[in-house]
Amino acid sequence: MTARKGLYFEKKDLRNLPNSCFGASFNYASTRSTGNSSRQAHNCPQRCGNVSIPYPFGIKGCCRNEDFLITCKKIVSNSPQPQPFLGNTGIEVTNINITLGELKINNNVSKYCYNIDYSSTGDYQTTTSTLTLSNFTVSRSRNKFTVVGCDSYAYLQGFRRKEHYSAGCMSTCDSLHSVYDKSCAGSGCCQIQIPDGLYSANVTAYRFNKRENVSNFNPCTYAFIVEDGKFNFSSQYVKKIPQDKFPMVLEWSVHDYTNQEAREGISSACGLNASSYQPDSVPGYRCKCNEGYDGNPYLGCQGVSTGFLVLLVAISWIFLLLRKRRLQELKEKFFQKNGGLILQQKLSMQQGIPDIFKIFTAEELKEATNKL
């Protein structure tokens, strides 16, 4: 019997790890930096393949510390471009968001499959991914624990707030026709929410004992954590899900000091014109640009350009003028279309005769009706 397939997170103390993110040109003193020159070298790569790598993340010599290390490499030699991985793990990174404090990865699917003769030998498949960074948690609001299959159940176990956590989800069905399409309500697919603060997670798939009844159309149980909205269930998935990995969202923050110490400017990760704040869902702190500034708060924020504001105002005025001209053209068009010119010609022929008809402009009508 081989090991179970899944994703495992382990929280460790990283203070004694070698600081492989710092090169010779980096100098982090115990006081807050007043600029971004000492935070990241100018020649540090900003991308790995199609993924942007903003500071505090970076390759060796370019990240804030070991927690934010990104390894950029090709999976196979003939791959067209490299891919980013979290630290020295096999966890593939697909997106980094410094504003929301989110990191998107590709998460392996845990499987429990029967052999063609319905025996239990060799049920488990070996693929285990391990995350050993202390400042990451599984996002509660952005993920769902999902189980697919008939005669199937799975457990999500791990740690949160230094206490053991365990939850399960069960999915049953007697036939493919009884599976509800696009619904994870328990028939062919089950989904539950994830608690906040989950920094260790192990997903394990199982099956009940009704092997012969469903294995001809549902040979496997599939279990995984997936980003909410990124998995649209189909009844055909009980035969086989279309992929071995699904997107998953992690949350991150800076853990070097408490938020209060960071506010006092003690070795804060925040750059110039940026301040720290305490996230609701994870410990530690994050950085944001002060009001009126933008940019990367971990490198230093810049003021919004005055020239940009002038350009924005000018564009707005041009838009209003064009809109007013267009409205005038439409008024003229409708005036002619509805016989306005003919009426004017008739009135011009009545010169010297007391006014029988009179054309009022829109402004005159508003004045006469007191703008009603």
pLDDT in tens, 255-272: 766 556 555 655 578 999
Asked if residue 156 belongs to a domain, the reply is: yes
Residue 98, in any domain of the structure = no
Q: Is residue 91 part of a domain?
A: no
Question: Poorest-confidence range of 94-98, 102-106, 362-366?
Answer: 362-366
Tell me, yes or no, whether 47 lies in a domain: no
Q: Look up the pTM and report it.
A: 0.71
Question: Is 332 part of any domain?
Answer: yes
Say if 269 falls within a structural domain: no
Q: 109 and 232: one domain?
A: yes
My answer on whether 184 and 313 are in the same domain is no
- The mean-pLDDT minimum among 93-102, 170-179, 224-233 falls in 170-179
Average pLDDT over the chain, rounded to an integer: 78
Is the pLDDT confidence value at 199 over 70? yes
Token pair, residue 271, equals 């750059």
Tell whether 320 and 176 lie within a shared domain. Answer: no
Task: Give yes or no: residues 246 and 345 share one domain.
Answer: no
CB of 70 closer than 8 Å to CB of 85: yes
DSSP H helices, 111-156, are: none
Residues 227, 161 share a domain: yes
Q: Are the CB atoms for 6 and 154 separated by under 8 Å? A: no
Tally Cβ neighbours within 10 Å of residue 190.
24
**If you average pLDDT over residues 89-97, what whole number do you get?**
92
Q: Which two tokens stand for residue 142?
A: 């952005």
Quick one: what percent of the chain has pLDDT higher than 70?
69
Which single residue is written with the structure tokens 């005669």? 151
User: In this predicted model, which residue has the larger pLDDT, 114 or 73?
Assistant: 73
The secondary structure of residue 368, as a DSSP letter, is H
Please give the backbone phi and psi of residue 106, each rounded to the nearest 5 degrees, phi first.
Answer: -100, 125
% of the chain beyond a pLDDT of 90:
37
pLDDT recorded at residue 5: 44
Q: How confident is the model at residue 15 (pLDDT cuts 50, 70, 90)?
A: very low
Residues 123 and 239 in one domain: yes
Sign of torsion over alpha carbons 114, 117, 119, 122: negative
Q: Are residues 246 and 116 in the same domain?
A: yes
Return the pLDDT at 214. 83
- Which region, left, alpha or beta, applies to residue 259 given φ > 0 means left and ψ of -120 to 50 means alpha? alpha
End-to-end distance of the chain based on CA atoms, in angstroms? 84
* 192 occurs within a structural domain: yes
Looking at the fold, whether 130 and 233 belong to one and the same domain comes out as yes
Are residue 245 and residue 115 in the same domain, yes or no? yes
Statement to judge: residues 10 and 157 lie in one domain: yes
Res 344: pLDDT: 66
What pLDDT digit, counting tens, does each position of 271-293 carry?
999 999 988 888 888 999 999 99
Q: State the average pLDDT over residues 221-249.
A: 93
As for how many domains the chain has, the answer is 2
Given 217, 235, 251, which residue is the final one in a domain? 251
Does 12 lie in the same domain as 153? yes
User: Distances in Å between the alpha carbon of 139 and those of 36, 61, 104, 189, 203?
Assistant: 30, 28, 10, 21, 15
Range of the structural domain that residue 337 is part of: 306-368
Structure confidence at residue 26 as a pLDDT band (50, 70, 90): very low
Stretch 311-332: mean pLDDT = 80
The model's confidence at residue 133, banded by pLDDT at 50, 70 and 90, is low
What the block records as the tokens of 66 is 């070991």
Is residue 168 situated within a structural domain?
A: yes
- The whole-number average pLDDT for the span 347-369 is 64
- Does residue 237 share a domain with residue 348? no
Short-list 105, 100, 95, CA closest to 53: 95
